[in-house]
Structure 1
Amino acid sequence: MSLALQNQKDSFGANRTITIQGLNKSYGEHSGAAGGHIHYIIKNVDLVIHGGEFFVLLGPSGCGKSTLLNMIAGFISKTDGRLRIGDAEIDKPGRDRAVVFQQADSSLFPWLTVRQNVEFGLKMKKVPKRERRAISDQYIDLVGLTGHDDKLPRALSGGMKQRVQLARVLANDPEILLMDEPFGALDAMTRRTMQKELVRIWSQTKKTVVFVTHDIQEAILLGGRIGIMSQGPSSKISHIYEIPLDYPRDVSAAEFYEYYKQIQAHFDE
């Protein structure tokens, strides 16, 4: 591990905690209006995500997982409740948070090479060229794209594009990675490879990761804790599962299957 990565890993042990208390997001008329009715997307969400942990939000499609993630990102405003990082209330996007989306095509600049995409945020921050090069080298290598740095996105596979998106996010050094089903559009083999890569990268950087999925197996493969979101509307965190299995995790292991059965039974109920 490089000295820069080691220093980064040490600093992330003191990541700020994400604290969510009585969080609501609604649309429609407010209850004070005559004849009004409030439609809640999420209601009374309480959750604490500790700095440096890998936390998974798991639930069926349409339950509000992405809404909650975008509220943490600062893209969507809350209706009421508390939503804080450390002691600061979240009311807008910030450099301490970065989002990795499902479709890398929509976030990469097609006219820029892999390296230029990774360095884009650094260039906007006026980081000197030599320093930008060193940082992009580090993260291009970290995501396994060494030798592909001069390629344009159109020359890359879906999995490689997701690696570029992840490298660009990491190069900007956010404290928190917010990942909205980032592997959902990939084929099964590429998805499994990217899951392994993400665990490896997280284990080296120890950034806080909040990962959204509706796939139980993916949740158990990745998460240190899994928060189950109830079916919407008025979704909330109905249960949290601790997953103390060592990484990398084996889907064929008996312990893995036991957690799978337990969580599947939760949804069957």
Structure 2
Amino acid sequence: MPAIADAIILKNGAKTFQQDEDSPTYVLKGVDLTIEKGQFYILLGPSGCGKSTLLNIIAGFLELSEGNLEIVTSNTNRDGRGFVFQSADSALFPWLTVEENIAFGLKMKKVPTEERKKIAEHYIKLTGLTGHAKKFPDNLSGGMKQRVQLARVLANEPEILLMDEPFGALDAMTRRSMQNELIRIWRETNKTIIFVTHDIQEAIILGQKIGIMSVGPSSKITTTYDVKLSYPRDLTTAEFNDCYRRVQAHFEDYGI
């Protein structure tokens, strides 16, 4: 079998924020990360450990202070990266309909109207938004807004999805529904996904690999877990709970 290609390679990555001239503060230090193409990878760690900072570096929103980052895609659209934010309210345009929000990036690229409409219709269907195309964001639930944000990112055909706690503000039932939807979409599209969370259960429900980040400052990925459970994952099984206990034990070592 041919080797699986890597999508993201980060070697000895570090990020500092200068508080004074002589003593920079390391938010991240010595981060090594390799993510295979098509993999669902979870960045898991306590609040404030630098998960979002690392995700923003991979997205290209922040620059590394030290180290080397390589993004490997065949996509020429923003080099193949798409970002899904924690809050859809700040990401969507309230004066545009669902369909118009999804097609916005395509419009900026001057994609012809009929092609934009066809692409938007495809992702409306893929993300379970059928029947909501003409609604405005204010008429949607939180979960539906996140579907719109995800559909808009997917419409630009990224190879890599970067997701910063996108379900954190949702109620438990909506969150579980969105987790199931994301797994379905990932399996249908074969995107590479990097998903940030501080929720152990969510990490195990979603991820093939879980990168455990240490408490900051100078945070890094200390342990990587391979999650061998089949999809969809049943929270009530002994195998799921055994995996949960092993991951939880790691954080108990931190005193969290």
TM value normalised by structure 2:
0.94
1:233 has 2:223 as partner: no
Indicate conservation of the 8 Å contact 2:73/2:80, yes or no. no
- Tell me, what secondary structure is at the counterpart of 1:173? coil
Gaps of 5+ in 1: 1-12
Indicate conservation of the 8 Å contact 2:15/2:66, yes or no. yes
Q: Where do 1:71-82 residues align within 5 Å?
A: 71-82=57-68
Instruction: Tell me how far 1:128 sits from its aligned partner.
Output: 1.2
Gaps of 5+ in 2: none
Instruction: Tell me how far 1:131 sits from its aligned partner.
Output: 1.1
| C-alpha RMSD over aligned residues | 1.8
Counterpart for residue 6 of structure 1: none
Distance 1:16 1:135, change over 3 A: farther
Indicate conservation of the 8 Å contact 1:15/1:208, yes or no. no
Instruction: Tell me how far 1:149 sits from its aligned partner.
Output: 0.2
Counterpart for residue 4 of structure 1: none
Counterpart for residue 253 of structure 1: 237
CA offset digits 1:160-216 (Å, max 9, x no partner): 000000000000001100000000000011000000000000000010000000000
1:17 has 2:7 as partner: yes
- Tell me, what secondary structure is at the counterpart of 2:179? helix
Q: Percent identity?
A: 61
1:50 has 2:40 as partner: no
Cα distance between partner residues in 2 of 1:188 and 1:205:
26
1:111 to 95, 108, 123: 95
1:41 has 2:27 as partner: yes
Instruction: Tell me how far 1:94 sits from its aligned partner.
Output: 2.7
TM value normalised by structure 1:
0.89
Q: Where do 1:1-269 residues align within 5 Å?
A: 17-28=7-18, 36-86=22-72, 94-269=78-253
Cα distance between partner residues in 2 of 1:98 and 1:87:
12
TM superposition outliers: structure 1 runs of 4+ over 4 Å: 13-16
What letter matches 1:106 in structure 2?
S
Indicate conservation of the 8 Å contact 1:74/1:94, yes or no. no
- Tell me, what secondary structure is at the counterpart of 2:168? coil
Instruction: Tell me how far 1:14 sits from its aligned partner.
Output: 7.6
